[in-house]
Structure 1
Amino acid sequence: MLVGAAAPAAAGAPVAAPELTVGGIDLEQATVLDLQKAMQGHRLSSVALTAFYLRRIDRLNPKLNAVIETNPDAVREALASDLHRARHGARGPLDGIPVLLKDNIGTADRQHTTAGSLALAAARPASDAFLVARLRAAGAVILGKASLSEWANFRSTTSSSGWSARGGQTNNPYVLDRNPCGSSSGSGAAAAANLATVTIGTETDGSIVCPSGANNVVGIKPTLGLVSRGGVIPLSAQQDTAGPMTRNMTDAAAVLSVIQGVDPADPATADARPFVRRDYLRALRPDALRGKRIGVFRGGGDVPVVNAVTDATIAKLRSLGATVVDNVDLPGLDDAFNNELPALLTEFKHDINAYLSTLGGQHPVDLAGLIAFNRAHAAQEMPFFQQEIFELAQATTGDLTDPTYVAQRTTATTAARHAIDSAIATHRLDAIIAPTNGPAWVTNHETGDDFTDFVAASGPAAISGYPNLTVPAGYARGVLPIGMSFFGGRFSEPTLISLGYAFEQATKVRVPPSYLPTLP
C-alpha cells in the first residue's frame, strides 16, 4: 500500500493526534516488554496492535510523510504471530511487535526497496536483508517502510533532509514546518509520532543519531559489523550500519539484541562474533552512572541553547554519581574529517555499482545509469536540488585498491579511532557525551538545509566505526528536541546502553509530539 506524499507543512490549526490507547494500554508509555505481558495475558493481540498502527498511519501520515508505504501483508504477519504464540508461546520481546524499516532496507515481499528514488521503483531484492530475516525469526511484524532522504542524503550538496521523489518531504512532528534531520528522517518522525512500536534506521554519519535527536527519540548506531549490512542499499561499507530508533532505551536494547548477528555474506560481521549473543536488556541499570567517568566533547558546535542543555546534562550526571570531565579534546579529528568525504565518494561508486549489479527487477545498472535516470526524470527527481554528489562520485575511479583512496580511508578511520581511544585512555573515561543536534531548522526547498545553528558530534564514532547512541536531553524554545549522545570504544554497546538508560530514567525528558504547524 503506497502512502501519499505531501509538501512541507503550512501554518494552520494544530494536528489533533488520535487516541494512543489500545486494549487499555497507553502506547506512549508502554515498552515492548509491557506489550509482551499484555499479549501473554490475552489483553492485546498482534493483530489488534498492527491494525491500530495502520489506522494511525492513515490519520497522521498525510501531515508527516514519515511512512513511504505500508506492508499489504502486515495483518497476515500479525495473525501468524498470534497463532504461534497460542501454540508455542512467545519467541521473545519482539514477537508480534510492528516494525517500520527505512526504505533502503531490503525486503523480498510485496513492498518496495528504493532509497526513495523512482529509479528503483521496479527493482526487486532477491531476499530479505539479513537484519529483516532476524526480525522475522523473532516474530516481528514488518509494518512498512519509513521515508528517508533520497539516497541516504548523498545526492546533492543543497538537499533538504527528509525529501525523496517517492515520499515527498518528511516533517518534524514537534513543529511541522521544521526539518526532521538526517537520512533516517522518516524512521525518527515515525517513532516519535507512534506510527509503529519501533523503527529501524541506517547511518553513515549522523543519519540515525541526528533524526533521533531532532525527533526526541532514542537512536543507537552500533559498532560497524555488529549488525549486518547485507541487503541494505549501500553508501559506504566502511561506515554504514543499521540500528534501532525507538521512544525509549528499553525498546532500543531489545531491538539491537535481535538484529545483531554474524552474516557470512558480510565480512565486517566476523569480528562481532564474540559479541552478537549479548542481551542488552540486561544492561538496563538505573544506577549505572554511579562511579563512572564521563567526558564531555564540545567540538560539535557552539549554540547557546544547546550549550544550556549540555550544562544541565552535566549537572544531572554529577548528581547521579558520575565524575564529569568537561571540554575533552579528541585529537587529530581534522585528518578524519578532511579525508572522510573523498573516501566516501569512491566507496559509494564502488558499493552502489556492486549492489545494482545483483539487484533483480528493472532499474539502472550502475551509478552512471542513476545519473542518467535523474536527468531524464528531472521534473520528478530534481525539482528542488540536483545531483552534485552523484557526479563527484562518478568522477572517481570507484577502485578500492587505488593508492590515493586507500590512503584517504586509512587516514580517516585511523585518526577517528585514535581520537576516541586516546581521549578515553588519557582521562580514564567510561564514555564520552556530546550534544547530538541543534534546534530543527525550518524546511526550505529553495535553499536546502540551514546549518546556522547546526550541531553535530556524530563524526568521530561514524568514521571510526565505533558505537554511538542518543537519548532525549532537553528542548530549544521549549518545544524543539535536543538529544545527548553517548559514545565510546569498539563494541562498548553494553556500557553505553546502561549509561543512556540511567540518564533516561533519571530525567524523563521525552514528551509526545505537539504537532504545531509552526513557531512564532
Structure 2
Amino acid sequence: MKINVVKLTIKKAASLMEQHAFSSYDLTKECLHRIEAMNQKGPALQAVLEVNPGALDAARRLDQERAEGTVRSLLHGIPLLLKDNIATGDDMHTSAGSFALRDSFASRDASLVRRLREAGAVFVGKANMTEWANFISYTMPDGFSARGGRVKNYFHPDFPVGGSSSGCAAGVAAGFALAAVGTETSGSIVKPSVHSSLVGLKPSIGLVSRSGIIPIARTQDTAGPMAKTAEDAAILLDIMAGCDSEDLATVSADVWKRQRAAHSYDCRREHCRIGVLRQFFAHITPSHKSLIEKKALQRMEDNGHQIIEVGNFAPYENIYDENTPDYLGEEVLIYEFKASLESYLRNWTRERTFLTLKELIQYNELHRDQAIPYGQEVFYRAEAAAESGYDSIYQKARERDYRVCVTCGLEKALQENKLDLLAFPHFYGCTVPARAGWPALTLPVGIDFQQGATALTLVGDQYDDWRLLQMASVLERLLN
C-alpha cells in the first residue's frame, strides 16, 4: 500500500496499522525517505536538523509489540517531529538551533518526551527552529538558525514560515512526520501553524510540563501539538498533559482529568457563540480577509453558529500603539530568561560546557560570524537586567499583563458577550492569550496562491483546552 503521509492523520494511521495495511516500520521509513528527498535536496526545506538514528529500530520494536497484542495508545508507532529545544536523552542533540550548543546532548528525556515514548510515539528527528526560540536578536528572520539555515514553507519557498516552531510546521506539512511538538512563548506555535495550514494548539500554562525544554520565561512558555486536525491535536494533548514535580506550574492531575472527562473531543454537534475581533482585521491582506469572511465566518453562520462582533477589545491599543501607558513590552521575558536558561544548562546538559548566560555571550562573541550573524542584543538585555535590579519593573509588567490581557481583555470579552470562543484573524493578537496563559488554537481557513495560508486563531477559557479542541473539530468539518 502506498502511504500518502502528507494527508494521513494520526487517527487514520492508527486504524490502518490495526488493519495491517502497513506497519510502523513502513510508515516511519516513508517519512525518513521524504526527509532524505526534500529536506536538503529538492526544495531544500531545511525543516529538520537531524534524523533519529534509532527511529526505524523503535518502529520495528513497536510493530513486534502490536503483533504480540500490545497497543499502547493511538500514538503506537506514529512518527513525530520534536522541536530542537525539547530534550531527548538519546543520540539526538538538543541545541535550540544554536551554534554554541550544536554538540550538546540532553542528560535525559523531557517530561513530555517520556510520556510520548511510553505511549508508543516514534521520534523521526529534531526540527529546525528560529534560533533560541527567536530570543537572541531583533533582526533574525523567522525560521533561521545558525545550525540549520532557514526553514522554507512547504507550499511555496517565498511564503512566510513564522517562528519559532517553523521547522515543526513545515515538516508536518511536507509529510516528514504525522504531527509535531512545538513550543511557544508568544506566537511560536500559532504563527507557523497558520502559515503551514495546521491545527496548532498553545495549551493553557500548566497543562503540559516544561521540564527539559530550553526556556525563555516560566510564566509564558509551553509546549503544544501541531497537527493536521483538531482530533489529532487532542490525541497528543491527552498524552502530553499531566503533573510533573519538576514543573510547579503543572496543574493537579484532578483538574486536567476533570477537564478532559467533561469535554470529550468526539465532536458532539453544538452551536457556538464566536466573538470576532474586528480591530485586528486591519492587519490582514484583502485576499486573506475575503477567505476568512466567506470560507469561514459566513459558512459558520449559515450552519447555525452565532458570529458576534466584538468592536472594542481593550488590549488592541496596548499591542499596536507604543504611546499607550500600558503598552505590552518584553520586560517579563527579559527578566525571567537568564535564571530559567541557567537552570536548564546546569540540570539538563550532559557536557555542562556552558553554565551561565554570560558564558554563552562570550562564546558567541568569539565565534561571531558562525554563531551570531544577526547579533545577540536580547542576550545582552537579559544579562543586564539581572545585574541592575529589575525586580520592581518586572512585577509591574506582570501586573500589567494580567490586567490588560485577562481582566480587561479575554475575560471581559467572553463574559460580557456570553461567548464560547474569541476569534482573531490570522495570528494577530496571539500575544494576548500567550501573556494570559490561556489556550489558543489555529483553525486553517485556506490558501491564497499569492499570499499563502491563513486561519482563524481561536481562544477559549483557561484550562478549557479540550472543549476548545472539541469546538474546533466541529468547525473544521464545515471548512473542509
TM-score between the two structures when normalised by the length of structure 1: 0.85
Matched-pair contact (CA < 8 Å) for 1:340–1:412: no
- The offset of 1:399, in angstroms, is 9.2
Give the stretch that moved more between structures: 220-229 or 477-486.
477-486
Q: Cα gap change, 1:331/1:479 in structure 2, threshold over 3 Å: closer, same or farther?
A: closer
The amino acid across from 1:125 in the alignment is A
Match of 1:168 in 2: 149
How far apart in 1 are the matches of 2:277 and 2:388? 35
Matches within 5 A, 1:122-137: 122-137=103-118
Q: Which letter does structure 2 place at the counterpart of 1:246?
A: A
Q: CA RMSD in A?
A: 2.0
Per the alignment, do residues 261 and 401 of structure 1 end up closer, same or farther by CA in structure 2, a change over 3 Å counting?
farther
The runs of 5 or more residues in structure 1 that have no matched partner are 1-22, 438-455, 509-520
Q: Map residues 263-412 of structure 1 onto 2, 5 A cutoff.
A: 263-271=244-252, 273-276=254-257, 278=260, 282-285=264-267, 287-288=269-270, 290=271, 292-300=272-280, 301-303=282-284, 304-312=286-294, 313-332=296-315, 338-358=327-347, 359-383=349-373, 385-397=374-386, 402-412=391-401
Q: Is the 1:256–1:280 contact (alpha carbons within 8 Å) kept by the matching residues of 2?
A: no
- Change in 2 beyond 3 A, CA 1:93/1:400: farther
From 67, 83, 92, give the equivalent of 2:48: 67
In structure 2, the residue matched to 1:484 is 456
2:185 aligns with 204
Instruction: Tell me by how many angstroms 1:405 deviates.
Output: 1.2
Q: Report the CA distance shift for 1:498/1:329 in structure 2 as closer, same or farther (over 3 A).
A: farther
Is the contact made by 2:199 and 2:230 (CA closer than 8 Å) also made in structure 1? yes
In structure 1, distance between residues paired with 2:169 and 2:160: 11
CA 1:231–1:83 in structure 2 vs 1: closer, same or farther (change >3 Å)? same
Give me the whole-angstrom Cα distance separating, in 2, the residues matched to 1:311 and 1:407: 39
Question: Residue 78 of structure 2 contacts residue 122 of structure 2 at CA under 8 Å; is this kept in 1?
Answer: yes
Kindly indicate whether the alpha-carbon contact (under 8 Å) linking 1:335 and 1:412 is maintained by their aligned counterparts in 2. no
**Residues 203-226 of structure 1: per-residue CA shift (max 9 Å, x gap):** 000000100001111100000010
Q: 1:38 aligns with which of 8, 11, 16?
A: 16
1:226–1:272 contact (8 Å) kept in structure 2: no
**1:12-27 map, 5 Å:** 23-27=1-5
Could you say which residue in structure 2 is the equivalent of 1:101?
Answer: 82
- Alignment partner of 2:220 out of 239, 245, 268: 239
TM-score, with normalisation over the residues of structure 2?
Answer: 0.92
Distance 1:367 1:160, change over 3 A: same
Find the aligned partners of 2:248 and 2:419 in 1 and give their Cα distance: 30
Tell me the residue number matched to 1:52: 30
CA deviation profile, 1:373-415 (whole Å, cap 9, x unmatched): 11111111223x1111111111102799923212211221332
Looking at structure 1, the residues matched to 436 and 23 of structure 2 have their Cα atoms a distance apart, in angstroms, of 42
Matched with 2:163 is: 182
> 1:312-344 deviations in whole A, cap 9, x for unaligned?
222111112111111343324556873440111
Aligned-residue offset at 1:353: 1.8
Counterparts of 1:214 and 1:242, CA distance in 2: 18
CA deviation string 1:20-65 (max 9, x = no partner): xxx2443333322221122122221111111111111000111100
* Residue 323 (structure 2) aligns with: none
In 2 relative to 1, CA 423–398 (structure 1 residues): closer, same or farther, beyond 3 Å? farther
**Separation (CA, whole Å) in 1 of partners of 2:159 and 2:144:** 13
Counterparts of 2:225 and 2:442, CA distance in 1: 11
1:87 corresponds to 2:68: yes
Q: Tell me how far 1:233 sits from its aligned partner.
A: 0.4
More off after superposition, 466-475 vs 348-357: 348-357
For residues 176 and 66 of structure 1, what CA distance do their matches in structure 2 show? 12
The separation in 2 between residues aligned to 1:80 and 1:381, in whole angstroms, is: 39
Q: Is the 8 A contact 2:331 2:393 kept in 1?
A: no
- Residue 425 of structure 2 corresponds to residue 425 of structure 1: no
CA offset at residue 287 of structure 1? 3.0
Kindly provide the amino acid, as one letter, of the partner of residue 459 in structure 1.
Answer: T
Change (3 A) 1:168 1:279: farther
Cross-structure match for 1:78: 59
Aligned partner of 2:322 in structure 1 is: none
Contact 1:122 1:363 in 2 (8 A): no
- 1:413 equivalent to 2:402? Answer yes
SS of residue paired to 1:274: helix
Distance 1:357 1:237 in 2: 16
Residue deviations 1:128-187 (CA, integer Å, cap 9, x gap): 000000100101111110000000001111110100011111001111133311100000
What SS class does the counterpart of residue 443 from structure 2 fall into?
strand
Letter in 1 for 2:438: Y
Aligned pairs, number: 465
4+ residue runs over 6 A deviation: 398-401
Alpha-carbon distance between aligned partners in 2 of 1:85 and 1:216, rounded to the nearest angstrom:
32
Cα drift, residue 81 of structure 1: 0.8
Question: Is 1:152 the equivalent of 2:133?
Answer: yes
1:374 maps to a residue whose letter is N
Percent same amino acid at aligned positions? 35
